[in-house]
Amino acid sequence: MRIAVASGKGGTGKTTVATNLAYLAAQAGRTVVYADCDVEEPNGHLFLKPTIERESSIDRLLPVVDHQRCTLCGRCSEVCRFSAIACVGQSVLVFGELCHSCGGCQLACPEQAIGEAPHSVGRLRLGASGSVRFVDGMLNVGEAMSPPAIRAVKAALPTDADLAILDCPPGTSCPVIESVRGADLLLLVTEPTPFGLNDLGLAVEMARALRLPFGIVVNRADAGDREVWEYCRRQGIAILAEIPDDRAVAEAYSRGELAAVAVPRFQERVAGLLAKVSSDRLLENRGVA
């Protein structure tokens, strides 16, 4: 089972939920992998403190033009939907940060003047935190495109784990869609504030467009207004857990500790969520109760 933990905005407690779910599932005897897909700012390792066993470069292929063969016909720039290759004066330039590595220009070149070369976009790390297996990716500074790194993290998930927890980037843009695609269940973590509700609405639209089963976790549930509950009631969306605002959890977070270890009452909340997400009935809910 693959559970993606996401949120419409940053700072809602998504990593806290993801890391503690993974920890408690492992404590319950499940074979668990935690995967940090938030490759622009991975921080699950701060709480799980894994021992890293393997590390490798994440590469993607970029076009390389053989200027001896190139006749400057311009066909490559015509076919590129992303304006990532262009004939400029007497040369063909490749703009790597725009390139989606689709290979279209290579196929279109009548002179076979375009090859490919690997370009490192980040680092992939695999390890373990106790009995939780661990995967994360970290995008290189200055790299604009995170989906290749997210795909590398997902491709590295061990196939024998019976539960994979994917800690997704915040928002609803391409990196999030890449992260949640293929999940069996999407947990949307929100907070009861106007900003939280607005971004939750966007995340719900995304989940419905992707036809993913999903449910809501309200973090700091007693700290704001009741609009999130009203919205979920109107929309027929299941709230799977309510986690109260708790200074002890915030203090554990600031020390880089797992709240499930440091704060027993928090452990009870997440254990209840784990029981709910393990239910087959949830998988049948594609967003409309």
Q: Which is nearer to ligand SF4, 115 or 272 (CB)?
A: 115
Helices of type H across the chain: 14-27, 44-48, 75-79, 104-108, 147-155, 174-180, 194-209, 227-235, 247-254, 259-262, 264-277, 280-283
Is there binding between residue 121 and ligand SF4 (CB under 6 A)?
no
The distance of closest approach from Cβ of residue 40 to ligand SF4 in the complex, given in angstroms and rounded to an integer, is 21
Among 103, 118, 182, 194, binds ligand SF4 (CB under 6 A): 103
The distance of closest approach from Cβ of residue 201 to ligand SF4 in the complex, given in angstroms and rounded to an integer, is 33
Q: Which is nearer to ligand SF4, 94 or 128 (CB)?
A: 94
Side-chain half-sphere CA neighbours of 278 within 13 A: 15
DSSP 141: T
Is there binding between residue 148 and ligand SF4 (CB under 6 A)?
no
Among 31, 49, 59, 100, binds ligand SF4 (CB under 6 A): 100
Among 105, 156, 258, 270, binds ligand SF4 (CB under 6 A): 105
Among 5, 48, 113, 166, binds ligand SF4 (CB under 6 A): 113
Instruction: Tell me, by CB under 6 A, how many residues bind ligand SF4.
Output: 28
Question: What is the distance between the alpha carbons of residues 79 and 246, in angstroms, rounded to a whole number?
Answer: 55
Contacts of 255 (CB under 8 A, 6+ apart): 262
The distance of closest approach from Cβ of residue 137 to ligand SF4 in the complex, given in angstroms and rounded to an integer, is 21
DSSP string, 198-264: HHHHHHHHHHHHTT--EEEEEESTTSS-SHHHHHHHHHT--EEEEE---HHHHHHHHTT--HHHH-H
* x/- letters, 79..98, toward ligand SF4 (CB under 6 A): xx-x-xx-x----x-x----
Is there binding between residue 109 and ligand SF4 (CB under 6 A)?
yes
Question: What is the distance between the alpha carbons of residues 244 and 106, in angstroms, rounded to a whole number?
Answer: 55
**Contact predicate 114/66, CB 8 Å:** yes
Region near ligand SF4 per CB under 6 A, out of 67-75, 146-154, 188-196, 278-286: 67-75
Binding site for ligand SF4 (CB under 6 A): 63, 65, 70-76, 79-80, 82, 84-85, 87, 92, 94, 99-105, 109, 111, 113-114
